[in-house]
Amino acid sequence: MNDKNREWSDKVTKAGRKEMEREIRRKDIIDAAEKLFFSKGYENVAMIDIANEAEMARGTLYQYFKNKNDIYAAIAIRAVKILNEMFQKINQKDLSGIEKIKSLSSTYYQFYKKYTGYYKAYYHSGTFDNSSPNLEKLKNIRRKSFNVIVGATKEGINDGTIRDDIDPEATALIMLLISNDVTNIIPVTRMYMEDYGLTQDVLFERSLELVVRSIEKVR
């Protein structure tokens, strides 16, 4: 190898090493923030708290993330990747459209129960309206999971298990809204649940039954 090629190789190696170090530090920040958000809640964590947990200067965080929302969106990206993986396992099964809808809905609820911290990041970050690199990336990944629901609905229409007079996109969105209402119960709803002895699990099961009955094609 001549001197010119060796110099070019050294630059490439150095650039690769710097990028690797940057990715490691970025991951350290996300890990630190995740630990704090999951234990204390989003509203109770500030950038300085994340900096202290990650053992770095507060200003260093801004070299990697625009703001706290941007970091939370990075955690939400981890969340939606987990959810998409769970969805894909269902999507690959040989099920009718209506059965896929049931399984996907149950999987979403299982995601909420098993990965509550990630679910909160996934849900809460959807309320952010300011632009950031991670939020833009998150939007694109979210669309993939939503399209799985839409696709299952269309499959059901095609295989005759779901009514053909419904709008697949609107139906998928309504199912998402209902699911999020069940997983984010407001105090007054919880009061009614306590009055009638209803648990969250039962509420989810009843809501799923109503959705399925409303879209299922009666033979």
Q: Which region, left, alpha or beta, applies to residue 128 given φ > 0 means left and ψ of -120 to 50 means alpha? A: beta
The closest of 179, 177, 157 to 168, measured between CA atoms, is 157
Tokens matching residue 154: 């269309």
Angle CA(34)–CA(39)–CA(43) in degrees, nearest 5?
Answer: 80
Provide mean pLDDT across the span 134-161.
91
The closest of 123, 113, 83, 117 to 203, measured between CA atoms, is 113
CA atoms lying within 13 Å on the CB side of residue 55: 1
The model's confidence at residue 132, banded by pLDDT at 50, 70 and 90, is confident
Provide mean pLDDT across the span 197-204.
96
Per-residue pLDDT at 4 exceeds 90: no
Distance CA 163, CA 159 (A): 10
Distance CA 212, CA 126 (A): 26
60-64, 80-84, 126-130, 186-190: least confident range? 126-130
Tokens matching residue 123: 């849900």
3-state secondary structure of 216: strand
Q: What domains can be seen in the chain, in order of their start residue?
A: 1-64 (1.10.10.60), 70-219 (1.10.357.10)
Distance CA 154, CA 148 (A): 10
Predicted TM-score (pTM) of the model is: 0.86
The model's confidence at residue 33, banded by pLDDT at 50, 70 and 90, is very high
